[in-house]
Structure 1
Amino acid sequence: MHSRSCSLRRVLTYVWILALLLLCVASIRGAFLPSKLPGFRCDDPDIRHPFRGDTVTLGQILLLVVVVPGPLLALVEWWANPCGPLDWGVVGSAFRHYVIGLELVSVSVEVVKTLVTQPRPHFLDSCRPDWDRLDCSRGLVTQYECTNKESRILLDMHKSFPSGHAALGFYLFTFVAIYSRFRLSSASSHWSRAGNGVLSACLLLLACLNAASRVYDRRHHAVDVLVGSLFGLLGGVAAARWLVSNCRQRQETKSR
């Protein structure tokens, strides 16, 4: 009965992962975009920057937060028990918790982006509105049409708040840092504890550099990056504490 219950729980976990993934992809593809474009002010200096591309591309940040955590979690488990066999069941459980938290953070960020519709710093350069048809004398321009018809750019140009890059980077750092601290809190090896400190410092540095690049590239306003980083921190804390709680329950069950 216990085995059947665990199998059902695992199936439901995978269903959740798939559902969240599909929801996130649909949001990125513009399935939940508002029917009306957000307004802007012609003299707003914050949206007049040229589009310069990404120092850290979407593919690179996804590679970092999807592929890298698995080996990192395995490394933490090896540090926790360097003399014994690697428990791949524990690694797999940790990675499932990580992925669910990652998708929840991603979906939350995309939902807020869609609701807020904050123009990016390069909004005017991406939209290229027909200035001859604009009435800037009223302040906020709400009736306009972009001459740039590239759908990818039109979907992206008003999704500045909050920063998804910053959220993902800080989620990775927070989750791995908290989980590794829990797993290595009782480690007898000085090198394991030192390695944990170095790992956390490196992930924090990467998260900060990634977030800073979004402002440097004029892809986000500073407040977008700050709020996105907060999304990642809170999501990482919640997911890691959920995992730690389950690990402690499992340890208590085994000790009975």
Structure 2
Amino acid sequence: MLKKIFLSILIFNFCVFTKAQAESLKPVFELGEWGLTAAVFYTARKIDKMPVWISLSSSKGTTDRSFHENTISSSKLYAAAGAAALGIGFIPNNAGWLKESSYRHSKGIVEALSATYFVTNVAKNIVGRKRPSFDNYPKSECVDADKSFPSGHTSISFALATYSTLYVFDHIGHWDRNVDKAGKLLYLTGSHVLAAYVGYTRVTDNRHFVSDVIAGGLIGGTVSALVYHYQNNCISKSESSDNVSKKTLPVLLSFNPFPASVSLTISF
């Protein structure tokens, strides 16, 4: 249910910003990018439900630890992802409210999470590492029992923390103001402490080894940074294009029907 709500919110977000920024965005390209993001997400979902493809690693470490339910459920991560996307989209930034930067980074965080989800699940299905509680895993969840490396919860958590932190540093407040600087550093610390806590619970819940959590954090942080810089470059190109068009003076040549009379009009 939360997944359906999350996707519905994102579609609404897309419609609002596409209407507001119709002049600066290319609808066909935007629809294609959203379509690709949806395809990546649903492919990752399919892979998540599959048994491992190839087991390239022998499980190092005990696999007979007790089985525990998740301290941080997947539903909570979906809720956090939805809140982050809406927060970036609808909270005014340095450019104003409902601006292109808001839309692009609201879309960007969805792309980052989808790509992180995909990369993580591909790695899980190739590596096939048994979880610390593999021997005591419920039969109903046996497909997931040998997908320890890397940690998906941790990769998603660090993807959220990394992308939102980069956005806050670049688009919310100004670094030369002490209050803004303190706020940015507080957000950086808080978001990554929360992400690290998620990783910590994955170990204490006997779902992952420490190395799984470290790998998940690196995947989430790296993918998010790459997607963020891609979206920032798109914004920079759009702003450069707008500046060029504003500096160009439209010149209109109007010809008088009477011979030997030509007037030149420069309109600003």
Query: Does TM, scored on the shorter chain, surpass 0.5?
Result: yes
Gaps of 5+ in 1: 128-147
Matches of 2:124 and 2:61, distance apart in 1: 21
Query: Bigger relative contact order, structure 1 or 2, given CA contacts below 8 A and separation 6+?
Result: 1
- For the 8 Å contact 2:129–2:146, the answer to whether it is kept is yes
Aligned to 1:233: 221
Over aligned residues, Cα RMSD in angstroms?
Answer: 2.7
Matches of 1:252 and 1:186, distance apart in 2: 21
State yes or no: 1:24 paired with 2:44: yes
Aligned-partner residue type, residue 25 of structure 1: R
Aligned to 2:187: 199
SS in 1 for 2:97: coil
Matches of 1:155 and 1:205, distance apart in 2: 31
Gaps of 5+ in 2: 1-21, 245-268
**Cα distance, 1:178–1:38 mapped onto 2, change above 3 Å:** closer
Deviations 1:203-222 (A, max 9, x none): 11111111111111111001
- For the 8 Å contact 1:184–1:193, the answer to whether it is kept is no
Matches of 1:23 and 1:175, distance apart in 2: 22
**Cα distance, 1:8–1:39 mapped onto 2, change above 3 Å:** closer
Shift of 1:199: 1.9
Aligned to 1:56: 72
Deviations 1:73-127 (A, max 9, x none): 544x43x25xxx5124432221111111211110000001001110000000116
State yes or no: 1:102 paired with 2:102: no
Larger Rg: 2
Aligned-partner residue type, residue 105 of structure 1: T
Matches of 2:84 and 2:153, distance apart in 1: 16
Shift of 1:8: 1.1
Count the aligned residue pairs.
223
* Percent identity between the two aligned chains: 17
Aligned to 1:135: none
State yes or no: 1:123 paired with 2:134: yes
Aligned-partner residue type, residue 212 of structure 1: Y
Shift of 1:181: 1.5
Shift of 1:46: 1.3
Aligned-partner residue type, residue 127 of structure 2: V
